[in-house]
Amino acid sequence: MERTQEPLLSVVSLTKSFPGALALDGVDFSLRAGEVHALLGENGAGKSTLIKCLTGAYRRDSGEVMLDGRPVDPRDTFEAQALGIGTVYQEVNLLPNLTVAENLYLGRQPRRFGMVDTRRMNAEARTLLARYGLDLDVTRELSSYSVAVQQIIAIARAVDLSGKILILDEPTASLDTQEVRMVFNIVRTLRQRGLGIVFITHFLDQVFELSDRITVLRNGRRVGTRVTAEMERLELVTMMLGHELSQETGHTPQRQRGGTVAYRFRDFGRAGVIEPFNLEVRRGEVVGVAGLLGSGRTETAEVIFGVVPHDSGQAEMDGEPVDLSAPRKAIASGLGFCPEDRKTDGIIGDLSVRENIILALQARRGWSRPLSRQEQIEIADRFIKALDIRTTDREKPIKLLSGGNQQKAILARWLATSPKFLILDEPTRGIDVGAHAEIIRLIENLCEQGMSLLVISSELDELVAYAHRVIVLRDRRHVAELAGEEINTGNIVRAIAADHHREQTP
């Protein structure tokens, strides 16, 4: 057929920038009818920006999008839908309080004499879902069905509305194996029907199982497009993380391993979030955590800090058991946690730099013992100076500072509590190169002072530079631990890419 030769959708040199950041830089992408095309990349690689440009949620700055050989420029999701581009998101974007049939036909219900013809709507809904192998009571509320069924209903709606291209944005993130199989069978059927399917996921196994081609994005650029069957797992991970194995960065071994074990975690984990792991953190040691997005990096940190309470195992501090079931208790045990997403989890934008810095210390003292204004000013000034936070005024709302300085202020917030164990989740994301180096120097300083650190980072070079040990995660499991000489980017990438079989801790 001719259609299989001509791409259904072709994107040429798409560029999109936001104030202060180039989100997509001349990205090319093509999608054929009847193929599943996986779109991969770490956080901030530009996947979601690309998708949003295709679905009309964003307008592109420049570049061409051709659908069936005609240039298109959807202004909103409805126009994209009318053109034939439908999207299904990770979070089911349907209404739980409406019936299945109402969800399928909202806004386009069949009508008779101006009234919604419920009987016909329900009959059509049943027919539509039968094609997806679902036989359900369409008059029940959506919320009475499992997430997998809801996801299939969302797919059915998207395909029914658009019909040419289906974009699946992490549709399997909250499904179990059985349910993933169910969704995959549906996707395969749609592929046979000639739809072009864009598939976004963090699960590499699923990529290899389902996709025909793979496109990898990194830092807003396309790294490459390959045929899945001709691709090795290792090659894919290398493309995603951006390291050629030939240019391995080695470990700088002059630093000594830290002293005594400060924190010990035994079989620590939470079902469905992160498998139980054993971890020892010594005084003055930096433990790096590596892995792809969705591998359980942030989950590890959250379980340790009690954001998501653990349901198995115990934690010890200096040999004594400690309760880490809630952030308050973790803080009381000397832990600190700088989360990944500053904007939503870290800074409180409208509060001043001073208020942001003293927040954790004040929380730890309790509201009955407020810090005096003078103490607050002293603490804030000390850290503004020590960390070189560039602000004209300590009373300036923190949202007016640059990303790097916000990050330093959050670090200051935790340092003010003099923690013994600090967890940093992607401390260098989204900040400029200069601030980058400063944060790294700061990390090194802190561990020299005897603080224990757990640093999560996608920047492997960084981990290699400062970590004494590196834990590698995959599929929500700690799969490898590298120490001393073994720490180099090549080993980390290999550990991430290693297929299925569990690696031994060297």
Partner 1 sequence: MKSRHLPLMATILIFILAYVLCYMQFPAMLSTRVIGNLLTDNAFLGITAVGMTFVILSGGIDLSVGSVIAFTSIFVAVLLAGTGLHPLAVFALALAITTLFGAAMGAVIHYLEMPPFIVTLAGMFLARGMAFVLSIDSIPVVHPFYDTLQSLYWRMPGGGRLTLIGGLMLLVFILGVLAAHRTRFGANVYALGGGAATARLMGVALGRTTIGIYALSGFLAGLSGIVFSLYTTAGYSLSAVGVELDAIAAVVIGGTLLTGGSGFVAGTFIGVLIMGLIQTYIIFDGTLSSWWTKIVIGVLLFVFILLQKGILWLSHKRATTLEHAHGS
If one asks whether residue 326 binds partner 1 (CB under 8 A), the answer comes out as no
Contact indicator for 287, 279 with CB cutoff of 8 Å = yes
Q: Is 372 left (phi over 0), alpha (psi -120 to 50) or beta?
A: beta
Return d(Cα 187, Cα 181) in angstroms, integer: 10
Check residue 285 for interaction with partner 1 (CB under 8 A). Answer: no
Could you write out the three-class secondary structure of 348-384? CCCCEHHHHHHHHHHHHHCCCCCCCHHHHHHHHHHHH
97 makes contact with partner 1 (CB under 8 A): yes
Nearer to partner 1, 137 or 378 (CB): 137
206 binds partner 1 (CB under 8 A): no
Neighbours of 12 (CB within 10 A): 14
If one asks whether residue 75 binds partner 1 (CB under 8 A), the answer comes out as no
Could you say whether residue 296 binds partner 1 (CB under 8 A)? yes
Closest to 391 measured CA to CA, from 80, 380, 336: 380
E strand or H helix that includes residue 446: helix 433-448
Q: Which stretch in 14-22, 103-111, 368-376, 451-459 sits in contact with partner 1 by CB under 8 A?
A: 103-111
Q: Among 18, 21, 73, 95, which residue interacts with partner 1 (rule: CB under 8 A)?
A: 95
Show contacts with partner 1 in window 470-499 (CB under 8 A). 476
CB of 476 or CB of 478, closer to partner 1? 476
Residue among 48 and 428 whose Cβ is closer to partner 1: 48
Q: Is 98 near partner 1 (CB under 8 A)?
A: yes
Q: Decide: helix, strand or coil at residue 182.
A: helix
Number of residues that bind partner 1 (CB under 8 A): 40
Options 109-117, 185-193, 337-345, 436-444: segment touching partner 1 (CB under 8 A): 109-117
Our CB check for partner 1 shows the closer of 155 and 281 to be 155
Q: How far apart are CA 54 and CA 13, in angstroms?
A: 13
**Using CB under 8 A, which of 35, 124, 285, 299 touches partner 1?**
299
Residue 35 near residue 212, CB atoms below 8 Å: yes
Tell me the three state secondary structure of residue 84.
Answer: coil
Q: Which of 66, 147, 223, 377 binds partner 1 (CB under 8 A)?
A: 147
Query: With respect to partner 1, which residue has the nearer C-beta, 69 or 107?
Result: 107
Report yes or no: 105 and 156 within 8 Å, Cβ to Cβ: no
Q: Which of 39, 32, 450, 36 is nearest to 256 (CA)?
A: 450
Helix (H) or strand (E) holding 88: strand 85-88
Tokens of 331: 């803080």
Q: Which listed residue (141, 248, 316, 444) binds partner 1 by CB under 8 A?
A: 141
Between residues 93 and 278, which has the closer beta carbon with respect to partner 1? 93
Stretch that binds partner 1, among 209-217, 296-304, 354-362, 381-389 (CB under 8 A): 296-304
Between 285 and 302, name the residue whose CB sits nearer to partner 1. Answer: 302
Residues that bind partner 1 (CB under 8 A): 77-78, 81, 93-98, 102-103, 106-107, 109, 111, 114-116, 118, 140-141, 143-147, 173-176, 179, 271-274, 296, 299, 302, 308, 476
